[in-house]
Structure 1
Amino acid sequence: MALAFGALAIVDFGRFGFSRIIDQRGGDIALALHARSRPASDRVVFVDIDQKSLEDMNDLAGSWPWPRSVHGEIIDAIERQHPRAIVFDVLFNEPDIYRPEHDAAFVDAVARNPNVWLAMSLNADGEGAWVSAMPAGAGARPAGAGVRDARVPLMLPLVVASRPEAMRGGLINFTPDSDGVGRHHSLWLERKGWRFPSLPAQVMASLGRPLPPQQRVLLNWRSSWRHVSFADVYLDSLRERPQRPRDEFRDRIVVIGTAAPGLLDLRVTPLSSTYPGAQVLATAIDNLDRGDWLRELPRSAMLPLVLALIGLVGLGFARQVTAGRLMAILIGATAVVLAGGWVLLGRGTFVPIFAALAYAWAFYIAGVGLAYLEERTKRLRTSQMFKRFLDPNVVSDLIERGEFDHRNTAQAREISVLFSDIRGFTSLSEVSTPEDVVALLNAYFSRQVDVIFAHSGTLDKFIGDAIMAFWGAPLEQPDHAVRAVNAALDMSVALETMRGQMDGLASTLEIGIGIHTGRAVVGFIGSSDRLDYTVIGDTVNLASRVEGLTKGIARVLVTQTTRDAAGDAFDWRDVGLYSVKGREEQVRLYEPLRKDDT
């Protein structure tokens, strides 16, 4: 499975990037947390056309959009404090045909203040104007050699078209990533072979600030901005004695835009799904001015990390490390990776680590899940197999405790083996119908097996009308001989009860039970398709021979080794020495008696 995850990661990080969304979402959390450690900029001031401004300016300027002269007046008011630049995040692309005098006042203000920059927008469709006819202030440049003139749908601030020197600006296009979240700023956009610079790039170029060579940069967000209400600045400028600080805009870049919800200039960013577009522009300007935009490692550079993490988890599975311990190791590795990513982020480099961590955890969860399913399957298989031999309740308890399973190999154990056989069963079968014989056997076996299970015995098999059982495996039972003898005596009692409760064949049943204690090989024995939990060895053969000697002597007989192993738990009647087929020495046999029966 490690190879499968590794191959998937190679394909993902090398080409397709289908886990990119994980890096994006995880990166958003990291960027938002990092922004909290960055205070408001001391270089950029945001003059906000907020809801307060819309209300306070209503009596003086009417409803939005205000006459353009209002913007001209605020330009003059701010310029008196000598800012580095005034940047409008407001489009002035359509002249006001009903109030041309106000447009003229605005144009004059922009023309006489060369550090004022206006917003432009590159549309996705439309025919547009010829690039060759656009003013130099639009900043259009050919993207390569041999580029021909073309029509491009660039929205220019046509309000100032009468004064070409006032046509200074750049693009304010919001360029979201593949998931619709804006994390980057594009320094230029290309259309039909032409490059159009962004408004922040134009401003920085005019201020002599070096620009990054790449087309876009990852924004280094701030927790807040120095925020000034447009109405407060404008109305204060109308007073004979202004009350606001005289140097609040000195040597700063002033961004004029809107955060009022009703004006709908809200964007989806790592910080918020309703982040003011003007503050996105302010972030780009601040980053480029300071040169502290985030350097971003490509996702392909994370391939060694993801393979190393997959290898770590795979090694844990290969060495059969417990799931809990492997989880602790993976948590530690995750903490190290996250800490490293955080340190690098603080130093200005964003590392997309989250998909790599997701692969490692997905591999761990898949591995643990498969191991659980495999273990559960094996437990069910073991349960089904052992329930043929043991009390089902005992089986479930022992499997949960992990005391045995079907994978255990056969082993030599000290056990006590019991054989029980019906006397004269062949004669009974000859005088009875097959249905009566089967019904009798089922009733007899049910009672006898219940007795065996009640004494924690293991049912080996039915051999015709005979029962084979043993004690001492798979459970460790130091008193296995005592349990076997008790079971034999209770099997005798169960037979008497059955004979008293049933008529016909049942009333004439007689059995013999033989028990021998010794070492035998115990375990699952058979083919890969058919396994039986059984015992083999001389101990089994002798127990069978002892059962055959019970006729005419006693219903239950045990060997000397069983008597010695059971000790004083019973009274014993010595029935003498007997020759047993396959043994040169005679075997001494005993009839067990309960102490309260003597």
Structure 2
Amino acid sequence: MRQKLSFASLLAIVACLVALDYGWLNFTQTIDLRVGDLLLEQHAKTRKANPDIVIVDIDQKSLEDMNEVASKWPWPRSIHAELIEHIAAQNPSAIVFDVMFNEPDTFGTESDALFKQVVAQHSNIYFAHTLLQDGNSSALSALPASVGLIKTPNAKPTARAIMMLPSVLERDSWRGGLINFQQDHDGIGRNYLLHENIDGWLIPSLPWRLARDLKWQPIEQAQIRLNWQQQRTHISYSAVYLDANTEHPSRAQNEFTNKIVIIGTAAPGLQDLRPTPISQSYPGVEILATAIDNLKYQDWLRDTPRTPFAIAALLLASLLAWGFQKGRNTLHLATLLLIASALFVSAVWLGLKQYWYLPLAAPIAWAWLYFWLAALLSYLAEKASREHAIAMFSRFLDARVVGELISSGKIDLSKKAESRELTVLFSDIRGFTTLSESHPPEYIVELLNRYFSMQVAIIFKHGGTLDKFIGDAIMAFWGAPAHDEQHANRAVAAALEMSAAVQRFRQELQGLNAEFDVGIGIHTGPAVVGFIGSDSRLDYTVIGDTVNLASRIEGLTKGVARVLVSEACMQACQQHNTVYEFIARGTHQVKGREQSVQLFEPQVKS
């Protein structure tokens, strides 16, 4: 009962922790995120990026190829102006710059002027905006309509924000949105902000701005969980620019038609790299492209609230608690939990396929936590039980034998008393009364201790179980707790060695003027053996008629033989190739039995 209560108490503790986790602290949310990251990384490999969203990449190749034309980065804005004209001629859906234009061109005002002029001619060019923590704030109400702010009914006229805008352009050309990197508490970016609410003013992100302007299916939520894809094909900036400026261009003249063209950089040296589930250094332009792709095709990942999944954690822990309480094999429970873990991971994977993000990793983590704690508790309980068993059985058996029986699992403290065939031995001292009357009590106690120690050592030597001392008598039995087909032969062997030991012991008592001898009676038969007694006091003992008859046989040894066995004991020995011969010592009437009993004296065959 104590062990069951312990498992129940452990379940209650885990349940409280789960309630704190899912109701307030969210300390296992990181587990959900990290497992989700691993699956998302694999899932992304199965999703092809849509070809109508193209990245013109300012990559390392472009930085090298453009040295002669545009010198080192940043290039003159006139270079971008030329590229815009080339791409715009192919009628793309939109041209998106993932590059900031907030400072004057270092190559002079003419370059900026050309850039402004070209941008102003097109209504489908979008620029990156960012919200900053430090700097000069601007009144949101004073920003031009091109920024795309949405004024809600709760908008405050005094609202201000620190924004980095493409200030080198005319205000009417500030068309665009935020590209702020949104990271979770562990620094990993998994979501994309669609709009920022500042005092009732909604500042759009660049993907959301595109979705609104291009009339994609509307979405009003503040952020989306990105559904990552295989990295889309990047076209080198220099490849497009240099080909456009050759006399005979070789690239297709419609490669950007009806496409969203994002101009940005994945070059490591330009530092636009962010930690994501896909990579610790994922190009910012690729994150932007993924968000745009998800919005256009409505296939971002839908979040599910964490709280309901606490039920899964509690259910798994409860099933484990039930299994441990029922004494199920720990390895079997671990195997079942592994199967459950695999099923949960499969559910997360299938959820990703259906555009759902299921936080099922934490419930599995809670289940494993309960499993290991319960396994430890079970181990400690088993260890305590084994130590208790050793302490209990060491009263009746040799300690080395007890250790072997416990380790082999042949002793079970919880097993009820049972009937089995045993051999019972009674040994009683003759002449003890005379000794006790003629010597001090201290001497008699010391003498008995020496005698009992000698005889018990012999009983243990032959695999016997000490039942009890009854005054100056010894009761022992063979055949329990471990089953032993040779129990009768072992009992006879112990009796003969005990007889020889008495003979030696008598020599030590010469001069005491007292007779000292023993009588040993042995009988084989059915008896009930096990822990018998009350809740407060249990003894491992044997009861039944076999015990009574063995005691009676011991009483008949006087004047007949030091060791006498019953016919049943003799037959049990003979069934197992005994090394003893049995000399008949007559038929005797035993008190309490109608039929007389034939007795035999065992001797080693000559």
TM-score above 0.5: yes
Partner Cα distance (1:96, 1:309) in 2 = 63
Q: Percent identity?
A: 49
Q: Is the Cα–Cα contact under 8 Å of residues 423 and 491 in structure 2 kept in the other structure?
A: yes
Match of 2:369 in 1: 362
Q: How far apart are residue 203 of structure 1 and its match?
A: 1.8
Q: 1:262 to 1:527 in 2, by over 3 A?
A: farther
CA contact (8 A) 1:418 1:543 kept: yes
Task: State whether structure 2 residue 274 is matched by structure 1 residue 267.
Answer: yes
- DSSP 3-state at the match of 1:158: coil
| Counterpart in the other structure of 2:582 | 572
Distance in 2, matches of 1:594 and 1:373, equals 48
Matched residues in 1 for 2:261 and 2:515: separation? 112
Q: Matched residues in 2 for 1:503 and 1:171: separation? A: 111
Tell me if structure 1 keeps the 8 A contact 2:582–2:603. yes
Alignment of 1:206 onto 2:216: no
Alignment partners' CA distance in 2, 1:434 and 1:126 = 102
- 2:60 is matched with 51
Deviates more, 1:120-129 or 1:20-29: 120-129
Task: Kindly report which structure 2 residues correspond to 1:420-431, keeping only aligned pairs within 5 A, or say none.
Answer: 420-425=427-432
Aligned to 2:303: 296
Select 1:343's aligned residue among 313, 337, 350. 350
Residue 128 of structure 1 corresponds to 137
Q: Which residue of 1 aligns with 2:494?
A: 487
1:10-33 C-alpha deviation (Å, 9 max, x unpaired): 553344433222221111122111
Hey, what does 1:185 align to over in structure 2? 192
Query: Which of 474, 483, 500 is equivalent to 1:476?
Result: 483
Aligned-partner Cα distance in 1 for 2:318–2:122: 62
Identify which of 106, 115, 119 aligns with 2:124: 115
Corresponding position: 1:92 with 2:89 = no
Tell me the number of residue pairs that the alignment of Structure 1 and Structure 2 aligns. 593
* CA-to-aligned-CA distance 1:385-416 (integer Å, 9 cap, x gap): 22332244443343334333111112233322
Q: 1:159 aligns to what SS in structure 2?
A: coil
Correspondence 1:595 to 2:605: yes
CA distance in 1, matches of 2:319, 2:530: 37
Counterpart residue number, 2:85:
76
**Alpha-carbon contact 2:522-2:565 (below 8 Å) kept:** yes
Give the TM-score normalised by structure 1.
0.89
Q: Which residue of 1 aligns with 2:557?
A: 550
Residue deviations 1:251-307, cap 9 Å, x none?
A: 211111121222221111111111111111110011112222222222234345445
The alpha-carbon deviation at position 488 of structure 1 amounts to: 0.6
In structure 2, what is the Cα distance between the partners aligned to 1:326 and 1:261? 49
Deviation track 1:340-379 (CA, whole Å, cap 9, x = no partner) reads 4333322222222222333334334444443333233323
Q: Distance in 1 between matches of 2:139 and 2:89?
A: 37
SS at 2:203's partner residue? Answer: strand
Cα distance between partner residues in 1 of 2:420 and 2:190 = 70
**2:393 is equivalent to residue 405 of structure 1:** no
Question: Could you tell me which residue of structure 2 aligns to residue 227 of structure 1?
Answer: 234
Q: Does structure 2 retain, via aligned residues, the 8 Å contact 1:86–1:115?
A: yes
Stretch of structure 1 that moved more, 366-375 or 5-14: 5-14
Does the CA-based 8 Å contact 2:146-2:176 persist in structure 1? yes
**Letter paired with 2:298:** G
| Cα drift, residue 556 of structure 1 | 1.2
What do the CA deviations read for 1:510-558 (whole angstroms, capped 9, x no partner)? 4332223333331112343443211234433443343344344322122
Deviation by residue 1:86-107 (Cα, 9 ceiling, x = unmatched): 1111222222466233222222
Residue 17 (structure 1) aligned with residue 26 (structure 2): yes
**Alpha-carbon distance between aligned partners in 2 of 1:542 and 1:264, rounded to the nearest angstrom:** 97
Secondary structure of the 1:212 match is coil
| Amino acid across the alignment from 1:66 | W
Determine helix, strand or coil for the equivalent of 1:520.
strand
Q: Rate the CA distance shift 1:542–1:448 in 2: closer, same or farther, 3 A.
A: same
CA–CA distance in structure 1, aligned partners of residues 469 and 235 of structure 2: 94
CA contact (8 A) 1:43 1:252 kept: yes
Does 2:485 correspond to 1:451? Answer: no
- C-alpha displacement of 1:172: 0.4
The whole-number CA distance in structure 2 between the counterparts of 1:122 and 1:4 is: 45
Find the aligned partners of 1:181 and 1:230 in 2 and give their Cα distance: 29
CA–CA distance in 1 between the matches of 2:136 and 2:506?
A: 106
Greater Cα offset, 462-471 or 182-191: 462-471
> In the alignment, what sits opposite 2:75?
66
1:29 matched to 2:48: no
What SS class does the counterpart of residue 375 from structure 1 fall into? Answer: helix
Distance in 2 (CA, whole Å) between partners of 1:50 and 1:431 is: 113
Rounded to whole Å, the distance in 2 between the matches of 1:197 and 1:69 is: 28
Q: 2:286 and 2:165 mapped to 1: Cα distance? A: 21
> Which range moved further: 248-257 or 510-519?
510-519
Q: TM-score, normalised by structure 2?
A: 0.88
Name the amino acid aligned to 1:572.
F
* Counterpart-to-counterpart distance in 2, 1:212 and 1:11: 33
1:201·1:211 contact (CA, 8 Å) conserved in 2?
no
Deviation at 1:60, TM superposition (A): 3.2
Deviation at 1:435, TM superposition (A): 7.9
What stretches of structure 1 of length at least 5 have no aligned partner? none
For 2:161, the equivalent position in structure 1 comes to 152
Q: Does the 8 Å contact 1:152/1:192 carry over to 2?
A: no
